[in-house]
Amino acid sequence: MSSYPFKRTCKEVSALLIAREDRDLPLADRLALRVHMAMCQACPSFERQVLTMRNAMKNWRQYANDPRDDA
Amino acid sequence: MPHADAGPFDQQVASHRDYLLRFARLQLRNDAWAEDAVSDTLLAALSKPLSFGSRSQLKTWLVGILKHKIIDALRHHGREVCVGGDSDDEQADPLEFMAFKADGHFGERPAEWGNPEQDLSSRQFMEILEACASKLPASQGRLFLMREWLELSSEEICKELGLTATNLYVQLHRARLRLRECLELNWFASPRAT
């Protein structure tokens, strides 16, 4: 990493947004994420995709675990 | 307590076999393991008959038993479960195929998918989601569904399978990005009649 400890590229940020689904990020990554998200036009769109997937999996879990009717 | 529409308990239980098999296959990605897990589930259910008010309650109960049998199977097959293939495709990092410029910034903004709650609980969407999950490479698909269907923590998965955290995270990273791409292609970016 360069002289900016909290500087991340969109690619690095995308990897962090995906990793966040499965593990707690270290403080430095969380801060870097916040800084980047505040300045970037594109990454918030990617984050919305990740959150939509999280939401979709929750719906699917419900559908798979508690089938409301005969399927 | 018999119900008006109830056949014998055995028949009711057996009638859910195909449903259980669908999820066992999706999670285990091995027909023989899936058949075994479902047989174990049906046997366990038949050995302690309970009364249910509806078919769906019985189904929910069976799914709960199935999950335990599946965790047993995953634990039993240990390393076989989580060792990926070494094809280039499976080893590839899907991030490399996204629209990043040489400097690591997005070349084009990721699409707005929208998040209409109704669409995402529709039957059609569930089918696409399951199809996408079933197209993941086997080890990636198993680990992904252990997180998302069995709801195990990353730590629990590593412990059950004797897998390092690094290995798990690499495979989940690939699985999630592949699923993202599949959903984008087959749902969010595809014209559909709703």
Under 8 Å CB pairs connecting chains A and B tally to 105
Contacts of B100 in chain A (CB under 8 A): 9-11
Name the segment(s) of chain B with CATH classification 1.10.10.10.
82-188
> Do residues B94 and B181 touch, judged by C-beta distance below 8 A?
yes
Q: Among A18, A52, A65, select the one facing B173 at the smallest CB separation.
A: A18
ipTM of the complex: 0.91
B8-79 has which fold? Rna Polymerase Sigma Factor; Chain: A (1.10.1740)
Given this model, what pLDDT does residue B174 score?
A: 97
Given this model, what pLDDT does residue A71 score?
A: 46
pLDDT value at A3 more than 80? no
Given this model, what pLDDT does residue A54 score?
A: 96
- pLDDT of chain B along its 194 residues, tens only? 445 454 588 898 999 999 999 999 999 999 999 999 999 999 999 998 887 878 888 999 999 999 999 999 999 998 888 887 878 888 899 999 998 999 999 999 999 987 677 788 899 999 999 999 999 999 999 999 999 999 999 999 999 999 999 999 999 999 999 999 999 999 988 766 44
Q: Among B120, B154, B177, select the one facing A23 at the smallest CB separation.
A: B154
Contacts of A13 in chain B (CB under 8 A): none
Closest alpha carbon to B143 in B27, B3, B12, B36: B27
Q: Among B59, B104, B111, select the one facing A10 at the smallest CB separation.
A: B104
Please state, rounded to an integer, the average pLDDT across all residues of chain A: 89
Name the segment(s) of chain B with CATH classification 1.10.1740.
8-79
Residue B112 DSSP class = P
- State the smallest CA–CA distance between residue A2 and chain B in angstroms: 14
- State the smallest CA–CA distance between residue A65 and chain B in angstroms: 6
CATH number of B82-188: 1.10.10.10
Ranges assigned E (strand) in chain B: none
Given this model, what pLDDT does residue B7 score?
A: 56
Given this model, what pLDDT does residue B6 score?
A: 47
